Amino acid sequence: MLVTEATFIAAKAGGIPNVPGIWNEDQIESWKKVTSAVHAKDSFIYLQLWALGRAADPGQLAKEGITDGYVSSSSIPQERFAKGGFPPPKTLDLAEVHEYVKLYATAAENAIKAGFDGVEVHGANGYLVDQFLQDVCNKRTDEYGGSIENRARFGLEIVDAVVKKIGPKRTGIRVSPWGSFGGPSSSNLHVLLAEFTAFHRHAHV
């Protein structure tokens, strides 16, 4: 089975050049050529769903004319962008959090239309889902921050929304509880491991 490299769920979820997307009809049609070729060899292929959050390059977003893409769970920048003089990312408000959940679900639905056998939500490596999970960069005081349950809420809502669109057997998630790529590294790895265990159990993936 193949899993594609990360694919943007929406234009504003990007911020790195030369990355494929899955949010419009042209992209869906183009992906059909890939999935058909894989299926012709009697194999399977999943699409990895990606949103960068604070890992997006603000300069690249500006080049693309995207003004609402440099976001995160909290207004804490990655060190490389802080040193580069860029302002901190915008903290997603509740309406925007819910919008991202819908964007993941729509992207999953589009992936199935494109012929993919399923999807993998990219919840690792310091990208948007991981920015909510990790307490070193999630300083929210609402229902998406603070406790383990709250910090996992965003990712779990995404998984639930994707499952509702395409079913549990087509839904996977990638996590990195001990990862330090992209900046995050939890202050309590043992607690975080318990969180990820519960995360997988809830997702049934």
Distances (CA, A) of 88 to 42, 57, 118: 47, 12, 34
CB proximity list for 68: less than 8 A, separation 6 or greater:
12, 90
CB 114 within 8 A of CB 166: no
* Active-site choice (46, 100, 127, 144): 127
What angle, rounded to 10 degrees, do the helices at 189-203 and 148-166 form? 20
Q: Is residue 18 within a helix (H) or strand (E), and if so which, with residue range?
A: none
The answer to whether residue 127 is catalytic is yes
Residues known to be catalytic? 127
